Amino acid sequence: MLSTLHLPLTFPNLMVLLGGLWFATRLILYVVQKPLKFLRGPAPTSLLCGYEYDLFQQENVGDKEYKWYEEYGTAFRVSGVYAEDVLMTADPRALQYILQTSGKLSCHMAIRYRFLRPVDFQRRICRLFDKGEIHQRQRKVLNPAFSAQQLRQFLTMFQESALHLSRKWKEDMAQDGLTGKKFNIPFWLGKMTLDIIGKTSFDFDFGAIDNKEGIPLRVLFSEIFKDSIKPTKLTILQRSLERYSPALFNMFPIKENVRHHTFLTELRRIARNVYERKEWAEEEDVRDKKDILSVLARANHTEDTKRRLNDSEVIAQVATMISAGQETISFSTTYLLYELSQHSEDQARVHHEISDLRAKIGPDSVPTSQDYDSMPYFNAVIKEALRLHSILPQAHREAANDDIIPLEFPIITASGEVVSQIPIKKGQRIHVSIGAYNRFFIWISLACVWGPDANKWNPSRFLGSDNRMSQTNIGVMSNLTTFSGGIRGCIGWRFALMEMQSILFTLLESFDFSFPVVPCKSNAGKMEDEYELQRLPAGLMVPVVKGKGAFGPSMPLNVELRAA
């Protein structure tokens, strides 16, 4: 049977086959009992691979997903892998409930989460952050690494690396005798954010901007998501089986897992080296070090056993930092520069604020975090870019108990009833549409979070008071869900924000960004954009030149030196 399918007889494929039998059973159940059958929802194009396949097939993140929301309202049913019912929602109150208010459930002394994070993409890389107590302890240990005092130290590293890139670009232009050049933005920002995360998380120099040779970890890292862009149906099935039986997949890994494993092994080797050097060093020497690994090492020396981590946990934390804190920032900043290159008046306005600040602090000073925060439009464009381009468009959760999900905007059920809560059963899978929430506006159902310009770039919405149409307070910043929220919200959000501020300030101070144009073919004398931006769905939302996704992240912009 396997040979007729042209599948090599490997264990994962055998599992897929077993999954097929499981699927047949499910199919019968599909007709008989479906936990969410009272909800409306779209039929998937592939019954076996479910809606996830549809989402990965979208040209841009949201193309299909947003249409579903327009048709069904803020919550509906989708059919997942093996026809499993999945609840999909972007309703503000539902999101707040799932991510925040009910993040944990205290029963006596033990802490259990109401909504668990299934083994997914992110977790497969770092194998970390388990249920309840362990997760809480790890967050506690990590928190000092993101304290205000710590972030001030990191700020200097952000600024140094941004200046480094700026110098590199200037040298590059000078070499060719130019005052402007086209650079592939995510390529360069990716190098910079990798250098930064290396230094901040474990005092390691990736040397990416300088293209230093002989650093295998960098090569491994650049390829880590290679199998994750446009996964085939088979990969989607294999991944979902891993969810049912992670142990088996550790024994018989698929290509993706092998890549992640190689990366982790190399990371472990380097981190251990750095770590051992620290152990030999004098206590004081370690005390001075500000990288995250040193902070964790100090935590291990405390008497408080609750705050101790064992070796494998420390390495796992560092691995998470590196995988969570690099491309997220580089892509978010890429989208920001894209918007500024498309809206030159906004770029001019931000540059104006930067010049004013520079005049105030003098030519030789480095801005402080308060300086950055004092520029309203500067911060509004960052927030608007984070809103319009949520780099992680979705989060996944699983109900730990039977529960009732409240909605801010009522929906119409399959039987035509209007309801504002959804009862769910234990184990119910939930697809939290972070990106859809950030752009939510539907005329027909009057379910509005943002105004009618929700799909448009408009930084001014963040000046003045909250002008959303939702009553729900959500997320960690400006009612955006980009960083999720609650106990499992992004621990690095201030870090990310400060890094984006540093990059924007440093680059805009020296350069002007514009979108490349070419003579218009159909209309002589006019110019048109050289290419279209595509927001590729691949776990993370990857910025690419439309149709060129296979070559990795790409977005060339014209970078011009500003007159001094």
Q: Which stretch binds ligand HEM (CB under 6 A): 45-53, 107-115, 366-374, 390-398?
A: 390-398
Q: Would you count residue 297 as binding ligand NAG (CB under 6 A)?
A: yes
The structure tokens listed for 188 are 């360069």
Closest CA to 388 of 360, 346, 352, 422: 346
Q: Cα–Cα distance between 360 and 190 in angstroms, integer?
A: 31
Between CA 206 and CA 212, with CA 207 as vertex, the angle to 5 degrees is 115
Q: Would you count residue 324 as binding ligand HEM (CB under 6 A)?
A: yes
Closest CA to 235 of 226, 30, 247: 226
Q: Which stretch binds ligand NAG (CB under 6 A): 79-87, 95-103, 310-318, 382-390?
A: 310-318
Residue 268 CB coordination number (10 Å): 17
Q: Would you count residue 473 as binding ligand NAG (CB under 6 A)?
A: yes
Query: Contacting ligand NAG (CB under 6 A), which of 71, 266, 313, 371?
Result: 313
**What 3-state DSSP class applies to 41?**
coil
Binding partner of residue 175 among ligand HEM, ligand NAG, none, CB under 5 to 8 Å per kind? none
Binding to ligand NAG (CB under 6 A) within 327-356 occurs at: none
Q: Would you count residue 136 as binding ligand NAG (CB under 6 A)?
A: no
* Contact track, ligand HEM, 104-123, x by CB under 6 A: -------------x------
Q: Would you count residue 102 as binding ligand HEM (CB under 6 A)?
A: no
Query: Contacting ligand NAG (CB under 6 A), which of 466, 528, 529, 530?
Result: 466
Query: Contacting ligand HEM (CB under 6 A), which of 199, 290, 307, 488?
Result: 488
Query: Contacting ligand HEM (CB under 6 A), which of 83, 162, 381, 395?
Result: 395
Q: Cα–Cα distance between 171 and 168 in angstroms, integer?
A: 5
Binding to ligand HEM (CB under 6 A) within 34-93 occurs at: none
Query: Contacting ligand NAG (CB under 6 A), which of 300, 420, 510, 514?
Result: 300
490 labeled binding residue: yes
Q: Cα–Cα distance between 75 and 407 in angstroms, integer?
A: 8
Give the residue nearest to ligand HEM (CB).
492
Binding partner of residue 117 among ligand HEM, ligand NAG, none, CB under 5 to 8 Å per kind? ligand HEM
Binding partner of residue 478 among ligand NAG, ligand HEM, none, CB under 5 to 8 Å per kind? ligand NAG
Query: Following DSSP, what letter does each residue of 247-299 receive, concatenated?
Result: HHHHHS--HHHHHHHHHHHHHHHHHHHHHHHHHHS-HHHHHH--SHHHHHHHH
Query: Contacting ligand HEM (CB under 6 A), which of 495, 505, 511, 515?
Result: 495
Q: Cα–Cα distance between 480 and 435 in angstroms, integer?
A: 9
391 with 328: CB under 8 angstroms? yes
Query: Contacting ligand NAG (CB under 6 A), which of 211, 250, 265, 312?
Result: 312
Residues contacting 118, CB < 8 A, separation 6+: 243, 396, 397, 398, 429
Query: Contacting ligand HEM (CB under 6 A), which of 295, 391, 449, 555?
Result: 391
Between the CA of residue 92 and those of 41, 97, 99, 234, what are the distances in Å? 19, 9, 10, 34
513 with 347: CB under 8 angstroms? yes
Q: Would you count residue 145 as binding ligand NAG (CB under 6 A)?
A: no
Between the CA of residue 507 and those of 174, 188, 350, 354, 357, what are the distances in Å? 17, 12, 12, 11, 15
Binding site for ligand HEM (CB under 6 A): 117, 129, 139, 320-321, 324-325, 328-329, 332, 391-392, 395, 482-484, 488, 490-492, 495-496
Residues in contact with ligand NAG by CB under 6 A are 134, 297, 300, 310-314, 466, 471, 473, 478-479
Enumerate the known binding-site residues for heme: 490
